[in-house]
Amino acid sequence: MKNRKRKPNRLARLTRAMKLNFLKLLRAPGGAHKVSVGFAIGFGLELIVISTASLIYLVFYPIVRLSGGSMPAAIVGNVVGKLTFLPLLLMPLAKQIGSWILPSHSMGQGPVHESAWMELFHGNLSAVSELLLGGLDILAGMSVFGLLLGFISYFVVKFFYVRALHRRHERRVEKRRQAANASSAAAAPVLIRKTSQS
């Protein structure tokens, strides 16, 4: 009988993926500021990927480079944003915030109807404006969340990055100290006392 390995459940795989990406982040090249800026931009832009139909990826690289952030850290931030499912979880709240930022009466349109998609499929092209207005609400709300969470993640990542650097430095100093002690112990002359024969 073969021992079948049990597949880890999805939560364990998700946790493992988060840990892996966090380790990649802490080992990303660049200083604490560069890595933190890259992560914050990647994480913040991930929140508006759905709202922009993934078109934000066309300007992802230029935004990271112009801001002076680390590209590997930005990719890790983007992946962490995907793994947290925040874009989907925050969408209803983002629509509400977006409707406060872009009130529908200021654009001369009424509220977005639930049946706008059905009207569009029946050939009513005026439903397109309703759908776009609803999309703009979500985009505005998700942009607010992206800015806010990106700003917060900058300080969180910087704290953990600096702490990891200090720990690595302490480990190196400890290893050098142990190596120096071991080499000095090996180099010490061993005195052999000859016993006098009577």
Crossing angle of helices 127-187 and 91-101, in 10° steps, is 120
In this predicted model, what pLDDT tens digit does every residue of 82-94 receive, in sequence order? 888 888 888 888 8
User: At 26, is the pLDDT very low, low, confident or very high (cuts 50, 70, 90)?
Assistant: confident
pTM to 2 decimal places = 0.68
Share of the chain above pLDDT 90, in %: 20
| 145 has a pLDDT exceeding 50 | yes
Measured between alpha carbons, how far is 141 from 166 in angstroms, rounded to an integer? 38
Q: CA separation (Å) from 20 to 27, 34, 40, 93, 162? A: 11, 20, 18, 30, 18
User: At 179, is the pLDDT very low, low, confident or very high (cuts 50, 70, 90)?
Assistant: confident
Measured between alpha carbons, how far is 177 from 1 in angstroms, rounded to an integer? 52
SS3 category, 62: helix
